[in-house]
Amino acid sequence: MKINIACPSTGLQKVIEIDDEKRLQNLYERRMAQEIDASVLGEEFAGYVMRITGGNDKQGFPMRQGILTNTRVRLLMHKGHKGYRQRRAGERKRKSIRGCIVGQDIAVLNLAIVKIGDNTLAGLTDDSVPRRLGPKRANKIRALFNLTKDDDVRKYVISRTFTSKKGKEVRRAPKIQRLVTPLVLQRKRARKASKLASVLRNKEDAAVYKKLVAQRTAEQKEARRSLISKRRSTRRSQKIAEA
């Protein structure tokens, strides 16, 4: 079984292969998100605590949280489910998925280091890889640099400079998301004014329609009243003529 170990604090990961069935027995019947003592993998991992984050079986089907079995099952999936990508709107399909319990059919098991032990592991804790990309969202940039709302976030966004093929120095920075600018506030005011104008226009249209309906109803009543009076006068004249 291959063990893919990741260290989030250093940004490194390493793949080791374990064939000793005695050591693997300690991993069987464990579930995803469970924390294990890493010393069961070897003496060099003494003091380390790792969390099971997932894995694949020998046919490549990924493990999925919440399916409490150590075999594959076929589930009816739709948009938003892990392990399925819909091709048409509203499509559902029955797909095979691996349960969240570790078994002998797992080919690759993913572990993440939760607690670092005393020993340094080559390729995991002896070095660190800086993050190439920084946060994009304005509030996350403020949290990273401990900024207040008065500080200009655009001055603190993480960017990189490189030389283009034409020999020019190019600076690349991500577009800051959810940044409140005067233009954003102006558009917000415009949306609010548009909604308010729509409400007032609907009220005016409703009042005009109500007035028109009342007028048409009054005209119909008047026409019916005149028709009834004509009939009555005709009948009265007929009775006088017969008499």
User: Is a pLDDT exceeding 80 seen at residue 18?
Assistant: yes
User: Is a pLDDT exceeding 80 seen at residue 243?
Assistant: no
Query: What is the arithmetic mean of pLDDT over 63-84?
Result: 92
User: Is a pLDDT exceeding 80 seen at residue 100?
Assistant: yes
Alpha-carbon distance values, 28 to 58, 97, 102, 109 (Å):
15, 18, 5, 11
Say how far apart CA 142 and CA 46 lie, in whole Å.
38
Residue 127 confidence (pLDDT)? 87
Query: What is the arithmetic mean of pLDDT over 165-188?
Result: 93
Residue 67 confidence (pLDDT)? 93
Report which residue type is found at 19: D
Torsion of CA 65, 68, 74, 80, to 10 degrees: -20
Residue 131 confidence (pLDDT)? 79
User: Is a pLDDT exceeding 90 seen at residue 140?
Assistant: yes
Mean pLDDT is highest, among 29-43, 156-170, 183-197, for 183-197
Three-state SS for 191? helix
Instruction: Tell me the pLDDT band of 241, cut-offs 50, 70 and 90.
Output: confident
Residue 239 confidence (pLDDT)? 84
User: Is a pLDDT exceeding 90 seen at residue 207?
Assistant: yes
Three-state SS for 167? coil
Dihedral (CA of 219, 220, 224, 227) sign: positive
Residue 168 confidence (pLDDT)? 92
Please state, for a pLDDT cut of 70, what percent of the chain lies above it.
100
pTM for the complete prediction?
0.63
How high is the mean pLDDT of the chain? 92
Burial of 54 (0-12, 13-18, 19+ CB in 10 A): buried
Alpha-carbon distance values, 238 to 47, 107, 224, 243 (Å):
117, 106, 21, 9
Measuring CA to CA, which residue among 64, 46, 41, 49 is closest to residue 9?
A: 49
67 and 97 in contact (C-beta within 8 Å)?
A: yes
Number of Cβ within 10 Å of residue 70's Cβ equals: 20
Measuring CA to CA, which residue among 8, 107, 109 is closest to residue 52?
A: 109
Measuring CA to CA, which residue among 101, 94, 60 is closest to residue 75?
A: 94
What are the helix (H) ranges across the chain? Answer: 21-24, 138-145, 182-242
Say how far apart CA 155 and CA 157 lie, in whole Å.
6
Instruction: Tell me the pLDDT band of 129, cut-offs 50, 70 and 90.
Output: confident
User: Is a pLDDT exceeding 90 seen at residue 139?
Assistant: yes
